[in-house]
Amino acid sequence: MGSELVWRWCVAGNGLMRCFYNNNTTAIAKASSLYLSSPKPKPKILILTPVPPLALVRITRSSSSSFSLNLGQGYSSSSSNENNEKRKKKGGREYLEMTEQELMRECEMDTFKASGPGGQHRNKRESAVRVKHIPTGLIAQAVEDRSQHMNRASALARLRTLLALHVRNTVDIHTYSPPPDLLAILPLKSTLRSSGPQIGPNNPKFLLGMQALLDLILAVDGSVSEAAKYVGLSTGALSRLILSHDSLRMAVNQLRASKGLKPLK
């Protein structure tokens, strides 16, 4: 791994004030001693690495963590590793149940200029919004409004749809019973449904039902006829439900293609 380099970073506002590194530990000690004895703010972060940093890390005034870097790898910290492990344990349903604020904490957001409505006023500001969901890598954007706030809300709504379509929950088909979210989007002819209106695509709860249906179809290896048996519908009735929603149809056909099955039409 080679000699260790010691980096001392001092947080100042939103940036880093000073950084020491050297293969010579004596030089490090002298430099650090001089710096620590100065009237300047003292370092809050100690980083031990075998190589210089590969990228800058954004550190806020309140940040205080110990980072380590292995050769050829990126930065990590005990706190960020714990957060990443928690994120990995989350299922798709948990993402959909998050509030807007909770979901934003899982995302990176950037703004940009894009063509759109507004005539002479368009493109005057970076009102278009792009959000990236860090745990899954899914990206959604909105450009149609001149309000950045409105575009952020639209981008998050589209991200929720992507999470429903592409993030699966584990299903034990041997003990499977359709969850209420799935039953709610089924037509009334389902033998498992209770009374109440069928939830349609315009209802925010439809995403939970759509996600649950995709979980089931994946669990039965893409077979719509098998999935229909578990939800109390005929194959034709379930196929019509799938085909009535373009995004759902495309997601089901992707699952079927991965299993070597023909697409629904």
Question: What is the per-residue pLDDT across 29-55, written as a single tens digit (0 to 9) for each?
Answer: 444 455 455 555 544 444 433 334 433
> Which residues lie below 8 Å from residue 7, measured CB to CB, with a gap of 6+?
19, 20, 21, 46, 47, 48, 49, 52, 53
The answer to whether residue 265 sits within a structural domain is no
pTM over 0.85: no
Residues 225 and 182 in one domain: yes
Kindly state whether residues 51 and 30 are assigned to the same domain: yes
pLDDT computed for residue 23 by the predictor: 46
The per-residue pLDDT for 38 is 54
194 inside domain = yes
Residue 115 and residue 146 in contact, taking contact as beta carbons nearer than 8 Å: no
Same-domain pairing of 193 and 246: yes
Of 151, 166, 181, which closes a domain? 166
Statement to judge: residues 74 and 16 lie in one domain: yes
pLDDT below 50 — which residues of the chain?
1-32, 35, 42-81, 87
Q: Domain count for the chain, please give it.
A: 3
Distance CA 102, CA 175 (A): 32
pLDDT at 162: 97
Which amino acid is residue 143, in one-letter code?
Answer: V
Residue from 89, 10, 5 nearest 44 by CA: 10
Other CB atoms within a 10 A radius of the CB of residue 104 amount to 16
Q: How many CB atoms lie within 10 A of CB 182?
A: 22
Residue-level pLDDT at 14 = 39
Q: Both 156 and 179 in a single domain?
A: no
List, in sequence order, every residue forming a beta bridge with 13; answer none if it has no partner.
none
Residues 11 and 71 in one domain: yes
Q: Which domain holds residue 34?
A: 5-81
- Residue 19: per-residue pLDDT: 45
Does residue 111 share a domain with residue 69? no
pLDDT at residue 168 in the model? 95
Statement to judge: residues 151 and 124 lie in one domain: yes
- 180 shares a domain with 245: yes
Domain presence at residue 55: yes
- Residue 263 placed within a domain: no
Q: Are residues 98 and 149 in the same domain?
A: yes
Do 152 and 180 sit in the same domain of this protein?
Answer: no
Residue 264 lies in a domain: no
Q: Do residue 99 and residue 145 come from a single domain?
A: yes
